[in-house]
């Protein structure tokens, strides 16, 4: 199995190729950069260095924190204090379901809508988006497979999703390496996994 650094080097070459080779599908310019959840801080550093190199190669890199979007959505539509009180009174599962609703329901702030809005003015030939801090969606707030599915057709800007998890086989990922979060069968990961 290749190291994170080796996979980042392959991703960098594929991302900077003309045309980019991160995906076999022209209308699905997404890729997943998988890293071991226990290596979160090392992965953040390596992703930051990758973003710098991609910028130095002439691309415009946009780093979008999913954690930041999550907390902005909670603040806007519910309130952090109310969420904390609800968790104290009704438990973690209920709080998680509340945040899931806020990120999924059309009446609130659907995550794909927010990402699409942030990417609306970007140029697919020039811009690249790195989605980071995906672990904020765990353990079961919002499936990354669902997010990639819902972004299909909304943008042609290359998206690199930084994924904390383990790889089982060639296309089955386990989010945060939690056994109950195995995604086998839930998504065929038509995007390339680095």
Contact 32, 166 (CB under 8 A): no
Overall average pLDDT of the 25-38 stretch: 90
Confidence of residue 171 (pLDDT cuts 50, 70, 90): low
Higher pLDDT, 188 or 159: 159
Longest Cα separation, the chain: 54
Q: Which residue has the tokens 């710098």?
A: 52
Locate 15 and state its tokens: 């991302």
pLDDT band at residue 101 under the 50/70/90 scheme: very high
pLDDT surpasses 50 at 188:
no
**pLDDT, mean of residues 108-121:** 96
- Does position 186 have pLDDT exceeding 50, yes or no? no
pLDDT band at 27 (very low <50, low <70, confident <90, very high): confident
Position 167 scores a pLDDT of 81
Parallel/antiparallel/unpaired status of strands 159-168 and 127-132: parallel
Provide the mean pLDDT of the chain.
91
């Amino acid at each position: 199995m290749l190291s994170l650094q080796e996979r980042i080097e392959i991703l960098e070459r594929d991302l900077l190729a003309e045309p980019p080779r991160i995906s076999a599908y022209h209308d699905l310019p997404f890729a997943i950069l998988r890293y071991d959840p226990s290596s979160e801080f090392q992965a953040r550093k390596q992703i930051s260095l990758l973003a710098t190199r991609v910028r130095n190669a002439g691309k415009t890199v946009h780093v979008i924190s999913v954690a930041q979007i999550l907390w902005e959505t909670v603040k806007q539509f519910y309130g952090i204090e109310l969420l904390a009180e609800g968790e104290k009174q009704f438990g973690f599962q209920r709080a998680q379901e509340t945040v899931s609703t806020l990120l999924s329901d059309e009446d609130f702030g659907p995550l794909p809508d927010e990402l699409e809005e942030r990417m609306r003015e970007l140029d697919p030939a020039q811009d690249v988006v790195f989605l980071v801090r995906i672990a904020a969606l765990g353990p079961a707030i919002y499936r990354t497979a669902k997010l990639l599915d819902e972004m299909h057709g909304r943008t042609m800007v290359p998206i690199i999703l930084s994924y904390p998890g383990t790889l089982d086989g060639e296309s089955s990922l386990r989010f945060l390496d939690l056994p109950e979060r195995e995604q086998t069968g839930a998504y065929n990961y038509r995007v390339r996994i680095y």
